[in-house]
Structure 1
Amino acid sequence: MRVRIDKSKLQGKVIVPPSKSYTIRSLMCAALTKGKSSIINPLISDDTEAAGEALEKVGIKIDKNNDRWEVTGGRFHAPEGDIYCRDSAATLRFMTALSCIIPGKCRLVPSPALAKRPIEPLITALNTLKIKCYIEDSAIVVDESKFWGGNVSMTGDVSSQFVSSLLFLCPLAEVGLNIRLTTPPESAPYIEMTLGCLKEFGIDIIASPTLQFFTSDFRKYKPADYKVEGDWSTASYLLAAGAMTGRTEVTGLNLNSIQGDRVIINLLSKMGASVSAKKDIITAANSKLKPIRADLTDCIDLLPTIAVVAALANGQSRFYGIRRARFKESNRVTAIKEGLGKMQVEVTEDDDMLTINGGKPVGATIDSFGDHRIAMAFSLLGAAVGDTVIEGAECVSKTYTHFWQTLESLGAKVESNV
């Protein structure tokens, strides 16, 4: 699908969608819990549907209502056929770990795009723990075996989801599980989110202050009524929309959230946008934007959002800690550099830094590379400068099914299938 965006002033009030990360994490915890748990206010998107379908394939019952999913967990059976994880990295990685305790053989199949993303460190860690896990063609295969646990080391600078995957298993290890990260973790807030979600289901993992060592406490999962808070990653587009073109009010956010992408309000403020918070309402309004220098190590998903804001700021912005952005749904560094280049914005790429010389971008046809965050970010720049077409615009359904309708409700001049 191709979407055209003409120059628009975006203003209005929006309720932010629920957190994708918390929805998927709470689903995994509920599946590991004997009895019935409730996921209140879950995000409904391609990725969360993928997680739910994967769990249903191995015996977990999920009754889905509009704003509540009832999950009956604790009883797994061998899957009949492959488990398709779509394009959801969290589903593939978390289910790889959970497959260690599922009877029979599990064969987890990723989409072609997901198959290109790293998973080897997780497989190596499971092999160290005597789990037969391997790649067959592009699928991940896990054979039934007793999960004893033990000691395992893994790198912390590729994906926080690898350690999160093992954390779900900590209470289930026969002899306990000790996890050591050989490098400081990147996207550490996502590990804290996993620990927080586990705690809601009765599991209190012992973690070092640096989040480089974890050990189990042998507690059992307990049923919970888990309420999913708003998604700060998604909120970044809605807030940037106001900062770039008008004035937006975003509700449904937890100002005390441990989500790393909550720093978007600080970044936009430093760039000169007018940002204010009152209770659960965040307001962002347009003003003269300034360049910025920022380390995005712990909030790498904000790179596309903050990059398009920087394109409008007259001067040079530098973003550090961006290396891992190359291993997301697309190579986001390449996607941003190519997209902004088409819009006549100079971008310089280094191994772990992106430099953007902002000023006066112009409209262009942008390849989303099938990446929801690239599509949503460049739509905002399109609204600011006009005459912009987003190719592969349907990819937003991965996390924000109604994104284009929301943009229109804010006053965006959007035309689909151009």
Structure 2
Amino acid sequence: MTQKITFTVQPGGSLNGSIRVPGDKSMSHRSIMLGSIADGTTHVKGFLEAEDALATLKAFRAMGVEIEGPENGEVTIHGVGKHGLKQPEGPLYLGNSGTSMRLLCGLLSGQDFDTILTGDASLESRPMRRVTEPLAKMGAEIETQADGTAPLKIKGGRKLKGIHYDMPVASAQVKSCLLLAGMYAEGETVVAEPAPTRDHTERMLNGFSYPVKREGNKAIIDSNGRLKACDIDVPSDISSAAFFLVGASIAPNSDVTLRHVGINPTRTGVIDILKMMGANIEVFNEKTVGGEPVADIRVRSSQLKGIDIPERLVPLAIDEFPVLFVAAACAEGQTRLTGAKELRVKESDRIQVMADGLQALGVDATPTEDGMIINQSEIGGGTVDSHGDHRIAMAFSIAGLRANDTITIQDCQNVNTSFPEFKTLVTELGLNLT
């Protein structure tokens, strides 16, 4: 049984200093997956040494890939080529990592051996039909539990055929899963998205010299390609940086610089939304590393204003809403979020859990079916249950900067799995968290 961890945050303070937050989780996962099936040796710097990305690393080790590290964020992957993976001895346990499970589903549907994917209780309650159904159309054979959840049993040796798939909901995980399966399918696989989602998979495939075409809202791939090993320097995760962007915006007398942050346009919704609310954010030193744009970001305190968050930005900031809700509580007037139903099926129901927590601290927050309405409020002290959701635990930690009394946050152990350095970095910058 994991030990229960509780955060206690004393009210007030400001954030000051310059930090580099850990590497991007999405890219850390993909660097292992693609490096493993590439020809040659791939060197990765800035790899996120947290349990989710390590779950992916362990899965590929179990399938016969030799991987050295991680040591100080450096990993060396001795690729086995597109058809070189071997059957693991037992089920692949993926912990709490939805990305690992959904992307591996696609990759493993094209192998000639059977695999079983399992995870912790939270992961085994998350919806998997969104990937297993389109994969079945490609000819994959995947057995789920009766309600469409994991454990997933994937049959090997199936001949996959490319399909044209119109995604009902914008999801980078579904798109990535089908593109990975498409590398093993006869003919073209075309994935059309209803709204833009993060494109790390396409960019990294191109980085490994594997052809992926973009035509409008479609990503297109076929099996006529090989991956060539390359070097990857993983940028800092903008989803992790978001806590500091909001913290420095809402805490008086703050001035924080975040170095080497990934500013992929499919991920910068949080910057766009905060700027619309009047945040003082400056992006500089822009460059491209391994197909991905990176930059340094400076953020200083400002009086935020409530806005109606444009729905087109929702998929570009989907993981950042817990902490954006905290920003909304500090913003003059009213902030409204709509079109974010996806938040209800994350590690927790993030709409309900955030609304409950904000209300417990005296914030005027009303959950709706697909979002939330928040009016500017004094943030009081109180006890909040994060329901084991790391982003919620960190969001309420940041709320302490504007609270007028102590905030106690229960069930924070998953912060250690996703962002173990959070406590050190945020206390270094000036938050009183124990």
TM class, shorter-length: over 0.9
Residues 278, 132 of structure 1: CA spacing in aligned structure 2 closer, same or farther, 3 A cutoff?
Answer: closer
Q: Deviations over 1:181-216 (max 9, x none)?
A: 4x614xx331x22110110001121232113x5242
2:333 equivalent in structure 1? 315
Are residues 1:369 and 2:387 paired? yes
Identity score, percent? 25
Aligned with residue 119 of structure 2, among 110, 120, 123: 110
Residue in structure 2 matched with residue 165 of structure 1 by the alignment:
177
Other-structure match for 1:18:
23
Letter in 2 for 1:34: D
Amino acid at match of 1:189: T
TM-score by length of structure 2 reads 0.89
Deviations, residues 88-140 of structure 1 (Å, cap 9, x unaligned): 00100111112123343200002111122221021112222222111147300
Deviation string, structure 1 residues 313-336 (Cα, Å, up to 9, x no partner): 231101122110011111000011
C-alpha distance in 2 between matches for 1:141 and 1:286? 50
Rounded Cα–Cα distance in structure 2 between residues aligned with 1:15 and 1:150: 41
Are the aligned partners of 1:129 and 1:152 in contact in 2 as well (CA < 8 Å)? no
**Counterpart for residue 44 of structure 1:** 49
Q: Which residue of 2 aligns with 1:145?
A: 157
- Cα deviation for residue 272 of structure 1 reads 2.7
1:257-336 aligned at under 5 Å gives the runs 257-279=263-285, 280-295=295-310, 296-336=314-354
Counterpart Cα distance in 1 of 2:211 and 2:27: 17
Give distance in 2, aligned partners of 1:20 and 1:308.
23
**Structure 1 match to 2:288:** none
Larger displacement relative to structure 2 (334-343 or 117-126): 117-126
1:207 to 194, 214, 230: 214
Residue from 356, 362, 378 that aligns with 2:396? 378
Aligned partner letter, 1:184: P
Maintained 8 Å contact 2:170/2:194: no
In the other structure, the counterpart of 1:121 is: 130
Root-mean-square deviation (Å): 1.9
Give the corresponding residue for 2:243.
Answer: 237
Cα distance in 1 between the residues matched to 2:385 and 2:121: 18
Aligned twin of 2:107: 98
Do structure 1's residue 134 and structure 2's residue 143 form an aligned pair? yes
Any idea what SS the aligned residue of 1:252 has?
Answer: strand
Q: Distance in 1 between matches of 2:101 and 2:303?
A: 43
2 CA distance for matches of 1:113 and 1:396?
15
Tell me how far 1:379 sits from its aligned partner. Answer: 0.5
Maintained 8 Å contact 2:68/2:76: yes
Q: Supply the distance in 2 between the matched residues of 1:130 and 1:209 (Cα, whole angstroms).
A: 26
Distance 1:320 1:253 in 2: 31
Q: Is the 8 A contact 1:315 1:359 kept in 2?
A: no
Distance 1:150 1:288, change over 3 A: closer
Structure 1, unpaired ranges of 5+: none
Asked if residue 5 in structure 1 is aligned to residue 12 in structure 2, the reply is no
Stretch of structure 1 that moved more, 214-223 or 333-342: 214-223
Which of 166, 179, 183 is residue 190 of structure 2 equivalent to? 179
Match of 1:80 in 2: 89
Cα distance in 2 for residues equivalent to 1:153 and 1:282: 37
Between 1:136-145 and 1:30-39, the stretch displaced more is 136-145
Give the Cα separation in 1 of the matches to 2:154 and 2:284: 48
4+ aligned runs moved over 3 Å, structure 1 = none
Give the counterpart letter for 1:406 in structure 2.
Answer: L
1:399 to 418, 427, 432: 418
Secondary structure at 1:189's aligned position in 2?
coil
Instruction: Give the deviation of 1:240 after TM superposition.
Output: 1.1
Q: Which residue of 1 is the match for residue 58 of structure 2?
A: 53
* DSSP-derived class of the 1:79 partner: coil
Q: Aligned partners of 1:241, 1:160: CA distance in 2, in Å? A: 27
What SS does structure 1 have at the residue aligned with 2:19?
A: strand
Q: CA separation of 1:180/1:259 partners in 2, compared to 1, >3 Å: closer, same or farther?
A: closer
CA contact (8 A) 2:38 2:228 kept: yes
Cα distance, 1:307 vs structure 2: 0.5
How far is 1:354 from its partner? 1.3
Distance in 1 of aligned mates of 2:375 and 2:101: 37
SS in 1 for 2:347: coil
Code of the residue aligned with 2:300 in structure 1: it is A
Task: Provide the rounded CA distance (Å) in 2 between the counterparts of 1:59 and 1:248.
Answer: 47
Give the whole-Å Cα distance in 2 for the aligned partners of 1:201 and 1:72. Answer: 14
Call closer, same or farther: CA 1:54–1:154 in 2, change over 3 Å.
farther
Q: Contact (CA 8 Å) 2:112, 2:158: kept in 1 or not?
A: no
Task: Confirm or deny: 8 A CA contact 2:93 2:117 kept in the other structure.
Answer: yes
- Please say which of residues 128-137 and 397-406 is displaced more in the overlay: 128-137
The one-letter code of the counterpart of 2:194 is P
1 CA distance for matches of 2:384 and 2:413? 13
The alignment status of 1:189 with 2:197, answered yes or no, reads yes
CA distance in 1, matches of 2:91, 2:43: 27
Q: Is the 8 A contact 2:351 2:371 kept in 1?
A: no
1:341 aligns with 359
Residues 328-337 or 71-80, more deviating: 71-80
